[in-house]
Structure 1
Amino acid sequence: MGGRSWCKQGIRYCQRKDYEVIEELREKYPVLFLCRIMDINRAGYYKWKARQGHLNRYEQDRQLLTELLKEEHKKHKSLGYHRLAYNIRVNTGWVFSDNLAHKCCKTAGIRSQARRYRYRKPGTESIKFENLVHGNWNANEPLQIVVSDMTVLANKKGHYEWTLLLDTFNNEIIAHSVSPKAGDTKPYYHCLDILMQRVGNIEEQRPQVVFHTDQGSVYSSRAFCQAHMNYNIIRSMSRGGTPTDNPIIEALNGWIKQELYLDYGLKNADDVPALLDAYVEFFNTSRPAAALGYKSPVRYKSELGF
């Protein structure tokens, strides 16, 4: 068998094929004769034959894990195999690798139903505020870099505009506001008021926070810029039409909407603001994040002493 070590499928694959050849020819020739000709251990062949129709321990575990993944996927259609595997580990205490979960998901056709986005070419720099972050999102403490964006949510009653403020230190949603009115600026200013309360005005001599946004009309307006003029806030803006300059909040807007639609029934919710309040509470205090070592944002921050 050493001469077959080149086989990319592995030595067990070659052994199994040899046994299958003997099984096919055993009606014409004695098994002992075939084993001698093919230099195969006869006891190994009979052990292989006895195992036919019976799943080994690995195959049984894989079959059980596939069923658990299917059940978890029915509950949370927006999750990928990493999060599905994590949920099963928490619920069952079963220890297995993400690689095994990926194999099971691939075989069973289990795939996240969250939308995927295409690459866009970068736009031009803002004439008001330059990009101070330049891809360096590694905050060392809370309220060092805060990002914001608005996204539109579809509901049976119409469309809602949801504005978010996110602390990049632990990906915690520190403020949010929603409005059923298109073009309503109140959610933006509501979130800004909460941020200004937390960072204080310039007379208090607190550390300044980098407030990064896109070049939306409200974020670029004179009134919005003047509202935080006397506070410890330094503005930073993405290039026009370049979501990759604000990847944390843009990515969040993408998958969080899919999670709300697929797992929390946002499309048919009767009270959208109440649903979002409950979800943000869950997101900050209970939802495990892979980037934080599968800890919630609040737990991650508290364990670091903040």
Structure 2
Amino acid sequence: MVNQDTIRLIDTFTSKIPLVRICQYLNISRSTYYYHKKHADHFNLNRIEQEIQQLCIKTKFLYGYRKIHALINKYLKCSVSKVQRIMAKYGWGCRIKRKRSHRPGNPFKQFDNIINRDWSVSVPKRKLTTDITYIPCGNKMLYLSTIMDSFNSEIIAHKISNHPNTQLALDTLNQLGYLNGAIIHSDQGSTYTSREFYELARKKGAIRSMSRKGTPADNAIIESFHANLKTEMIYTQAKPKGLADTIKCVNNYIKFWNNKRILTKLGNQSPVEYRKSVAQLNS
């Protein structure tokens, strides 16, 4: 590993030995030497900078400065503005997220927007949201259907298919038991306005709510999850190879999201940690 001690050692001998021979002996390239010499400030990190760097690497640059501050502040006290400055200085910010387009459909039955962007709830499985998104797989697409509990943003059901059809949504909803008056929110795509989905949701005792047409912001929490999945899955795992590997990567990411991915709105806990902590407080 090249560090500033290595650079100083090379500089000591360059007056007597050609640089190319020193680099060959140390098995490093000259470009590596020049890069480390030019960017010396990047490699002379103080303790807090080293800790922030290691946290960013450990979390694969998925978090912004607020979440990194929440993690480092557990054992090393510092201000959030200081973490922000350090991460900006070294370019350690989170990755850019992509947005997906909305798919319109032909309705069988539509419902009012009961949720109306109010996802707050004090107990689990009272306000649910569902959607289907695409997952690139080589030269084709897979489709992921998810159901999220707005109580803690936990993915409580999901299914992957080759087709974004009604059966995919039905298979996902069938993973849940009787919903006993819970609200399930969706967009106005033909999948969710179909007779089949209407009948299944009715049998499960769900109250239906739908986003306004062409307004994905009405279902922002699950739109955001799907954007996170497609962006962060690239950085948390090796690039999927083939159908089986893509499915495995998606399943692994959902486990990561539910059990490890901290969310600011949950007090920097993962969805499962938050659910358990609330249950413990109420017991």
Q: TM-score, normalised by structure 2?
A: 0.72
Q: What's the offset of the Cα at 1:231?
A: 2.5
Code of the residue aligned with 2:67 in structure 1: it is R
For residues 266 and 229 of structure 1, do their structure 2 counterparts lie closer, same or farther at Cα, with a shift above 3 Å needed?
Answer: farther
* 1:175 paired residue number: 157
Matching of residue 230 in structure 1 with residue 211 in structure 2: no
Q: Counterparts of 1:51-130 in structure 2 under 5 Å?
A: 63-75=46-58, 76-89=60-73, 93-115=75-97, 128-130=110-112
Which amino acid is the alignment partner of residue 296 of structure 1? Answer: S
Residue in 2 that maps onto 1:255: 228
Contact kept, 8 Å, 1:66 with 1:104, in 2: the verdict is yes
Partner residue in 2 for 1:284: 258
> Residues 211 and 268 of structure 1: is their aligned pair in 2 closer, same or farther, counting only changes over 3 Å?
same
Partner SS state of residue 47, structure 2: helix
- Amino acid of the residue matched to residue 65 of structure 2? Y
2:184 corresponds to which of 211, 214, 220: 211
Report what 1:271 is aligned to: 245
When residues 302 and 111 of structure 1 are mapped into structure 2, their CA distance, relative to the original with a 3 A threshold, is closer
Contact 1:77 1:263 (8 Å CA) reproduced: no
- Structure 2: tracts of 5 or more residues without a match: 1-43, 103-107
- Evaluate the alpha carbon distance shift between residue 86 and residue 142 of structure 1 in structure 2; reply closer, same or farther with a 3 A threshold: same
**Separation in 2 of the partners of 1:155 and 1:111?**
27
AA at the equivalent of 1:275: C
What's the C-alpha RMSD, in Å, of the aligned pairs? 2.8
Whole-angstrom distance in 1 between the partners of 2:70 and 2:241 = 28
Q: Distance in 2 between matches of 1:86 and 1:110?
A: 16
Q: Distance in 1 between matches of 2:153 and 2:269?
A: 11
Q: For residue 169 of structure 2, what is the aligned residue in structure 1? A: 188
> Quick one: structure 1 residues 101 and 279, their matched pair in 2 at CA, closer, same or farther if it must change by over 3 Å?
same
Hey, what's the Cα distance between the residues in 1 that align with 2:195 and 2:62?
39
For residues 291 and 234 of structure 1, the distance between their equivalents in structure 2, rounded to whole angstroms, comes to: 26
The 1:285–1:112 alpha-carbon spacing in structure 2 relative to 1, beyond 3 Å, is closer
Secondary structure of residue in 2 paired with 1:220: coil
2:193 aligned to which of 202, 207, 220 = 220
Q: Which runs of 5+ in 1 are unaligned?
A: 1-60, 121-125, 200-205
- Name the structure 1 match of 2:268: 294
1:171-199 Cα deviation digits (max 9, x unpaired): 111001112x233443311111123x142
Query: Deviation of residue 152 (structure 1)?
Result: 1.0
SS at match of 1:251: helix
1:156/1:69 CA distance change after superposition, 3 Å: farther
- Identity in percent: 27
Distance 1:265 1:82, change over 3 A: farther
Distance in 2 separating the partners of 1:289 and 1:188? 26
User: How big is the shift at 1:302?
Assistant: 2.1
Q: Which of 129, 151, 173 in structure 1 is aligned with 2:133?
A: 151
Letter in 1 for 2:274: Y
Q: What whole-Å deviation, never above 9, does each CA across 1:195-234 have from its counterpart, x for those lacking one? A: 3x142xxxxxx4x111100111101112211222223101
Distance in 2 (alpha carbons) for counterparts of 1:283 and 1:175:
13
1:63-106 Cα shifts (integer Å, max 9, x gaps): 4333443444345133222233344456xx22222221101111
Residues 82/265 of structure 1: CA separation in 2 closer, same or farther (3 Å cut): farther
Q: Which moved more, 1:283-292 or 1:98-107?
A: 283-292
Q: Tell me, what secondary structure is at the counterpart of 1:258?
A: helix
